[in-house]
Amino acid sequence: MTTYLLAGGGTAGHVNPLLAVADRLRERDPEASVLVLGTAEGLESRLVPARGYELLTIEKVPFPRRPNGAALRFPSRFRRSIADVRAMIAARGVDVVVGFGGYVSTPAYLAARGAGIPVVIHEANARPGLANRLGARFAARVGVAFAGTPLPHAEFVGMPLRREIEALDRRAQRPVAAEFFGLDPARPVLLVTGGSLGARRINRTTVDSAATLTGTGWQVLHVTGAKSEVGDPGIADYRMVEYADRMDLALAIADAAVSRAGAATVSELSALGIPAVYVPYPVGNGEQRFNAAGVVEAGGGILVDDADFLPEQVSREVVPMLADRDRLERMARAAASVGALDGTDRMIELVDGALRRDGTPGAAGA
C-alpha cells in the first residue's frame, strides 16, 4: 500500500487541485492511504475533512517580510515545523510528498528531503510562489498548469480539475443549464464572474453595460460574488445571481465569458474552449496577467486592465467580439489548444514516475 502526503492549503487555488488529485488517487486504489497536510486556520481545515480525508496540521509559519519580532522567532518555529512533518512522515510511513504550494509546503518539502522520500510539485500559477520555487530545486518531478512557468524541470500537466468540470459534456448539459438559470438554450450566453467574493470593477461595469450587452442579442449570466455592491438592473435577458453552486452548469451554457484571471478560472475556461475577456486582479504580484498570457497569445482571450474595464471599453471591444461568430469560433479553438482537461491524470503520472524512480515497493501499480 502506498501512502501519499498531499501538502497545501490556505486558498482555494491550493486546495482544489489538491483535492482533485486526492480523489483520483482514492478512486483508482481505495487501499491507498491519502493524507493531507495543512493548517488549522486555512480553507483546508473545512474542505479536507468534509471530503473524507485525514488532515494533519502544523503551525502556520509565514516567511517574514520585514525585520521584527516575528522574524527573530521564525528560524526556530520553522525548524520545529520541519521536525513535526518529518515525524509525521516516519510515523505514517509516507512514500511521497505531493505539494501544491502555500505555507505548509516548504516544511513538507524539506522534511521529505531529509527523510529521503521523493517530492512532487504542482504549481498552479504562471508566476510561481516562494514555496514551490524552493522545492522545485530538488523535487523529483514538477508539474505546472501553464506552459512556460519558470521552475526547474517543469513539465506541463495543466490544472487538476474538479470531476464535474473534467467530465462536462457542455452540449448535453446546455438544456439543463438553461432551465436551471432561466435562460433560453437557443440563444448565446455571456458568463460574467469575478470569483467567489466578486470583483468590484467587473460587477459595476457589467451592470452599467447591461442594456448594451443584451442589445447584441446575447443573454447575460452575471455571478456577482458574495460581497457584491451592485443591484440587479431588472432587464430582460439578464440573470444576476450572487453565487452559482452549479458552476459546471454555468460553464456548460457559456458561449463566452468575462472574468478575473485566477489560475483555476483560466484553466477551466481554456480546457472547455470558452473565449474570454480576462480582467486581471490589479493587486498582488501580478500573477493573474501571467496566468492569462498563454491563452491570450494563442488568440483564445482578450486581456483588459482592471482600470480600463469601463462601459466604453465594453462597447468598443466586447460588443464587437460578441457580434462576430466566426471570431468567437476561432477563439474557442485557440483556447482549447492551450487548455487541458486531463490535468489530474497527468499530475498523477508524475507522482507515479517519481515513485518508480525512487524504487518504492508497489508504486508502479498504486
Same domain, 223 and 330: yes
User: Is residue 260, in this structure, part of any structural domain at all?
Assistant: yes
- pTM check: above 0.85: yes
CA dihedral 328, 331, 332, 335 (to 10 degrees): -160
Same domain, 42 and 78: yes
Same domain, 136 and 175: no
Of the two residues 13 and 321, the one the predictor is more confident about is 321
Residue 7 has pLDDT above 70, yes or no: yes
Residues 6+ apart with CB under 8 A from 50: none
pLDDT, mean of residues 178-196: 94
pLDDT, mean of residues 201-224: 96
Assign 225 a pLDDT band (cuts: 50, 70, 90). confident
Same domain, 333 and 346: no
Supply the pLDDT for residue 363.
37
Same domain, 148 and 206: no
Same domain, 156 and 11: yes
Same domain, 112 and 12: yes
Supply the pLDDT for residue 198.
62
User: Is residue 366, in this structure, part of any structural domain at all?
Assistant: no
Supply the pLDDT for residue 319.
97
User: Is residue 156, in this structure, part of any structural domain at all?
Assistant: yes
Same domain, 92 and 168: no
Is 363 a known ligand-binding residue?
no
User: Is residue 181, in this structure, part of any structural domain at all?
Assistant: yes
Tell me the longest C-alpha to C-alpha distance in the chain: 64
User: Is residue 362, in this structure, part of any structural domain at all?
Assistant: no
pLDDT digits over 72-126, tens only? 566 777 799 999 999 999 999 999 999 999 889 999 999 999 999 999 999 999 9
Is 162 a known ligand-binding residue?
yes
Is 68 a known ligand-binding residue?
no
Residue 204 has pLDDT above 80, yes or no: yes
Supply the pLDDT for residue 196.
64
User: Is residue 182, in this structure, part of any structural domain at all?
Assistant: yes
Is 228 a known ligand-binding residue?
no
Query: Using the 8-state DSSP alphabet, how is residue 64 labeled?
Result: P
Q: Which domain holds residue 20?
A: 3-161+342-356
> How far is residue 249's CA from residue 118's CA, in Å, rounded to a whole number?
39
Assign 60 a pLDDT band (cuts: 50, 70, 90). confident
Is 203 a known ligand-binding residue?
no
User: Is residue 364, in this structure, part of any structural domain at all?
Assistant: no
Q: Are 306 and 289 in contact (CB under 8 A)?
A: no
User: Is residue 365, in this structure, part of any structural domain at all?
Assistant: no
SS3 content of the chain, % helix, strand, coil (to 5): 45, 15, 40
Residue 256 has pLDDT above 60, yes or no: yes
Q: Are 159 and 241 in contact (CB under 8 A)?
A: no
> How far is residue 319's CA from residue 338's CA, in Å, rounded to a whole number?
25
Supply the pLDDT for residue 361.
36
Q: Which residue has the cell 519558470?
A: 150
Same domain, 133 and 35: yes
To which H or E segment does residue 98 belong?
A: strand 96-99
| Single-letter amino acid, residue 59 | E
Domain count, the chain: 2
Sign of the torsion angle spanned by Cα atoms 38, 282, 223, 218: negative
Same domain, 180 and 152: no
- Reference 121, options 106, 132, 134; nearest CA is 132
Counting every residue, how long is the chain? 366
Percent of the chain whose predicted confidence (pLDDT) is above 70: 93
Same domain, 52 and 148: yes
Inter-axis angle of helices 263-271 and 287-298, to 10 degrees? 20
Supply the pLDDT for residue 195.
73
pLDDT digits over 136-152, tens only? 999 999 999 999 999 99
Same domain, 126 and 270: no
Find the CATH number of the domain harbouring 183. 3.40.50.2000
> How far is residue 51's CA from residue 27's CA, in Å, rounded to a whole number?
13
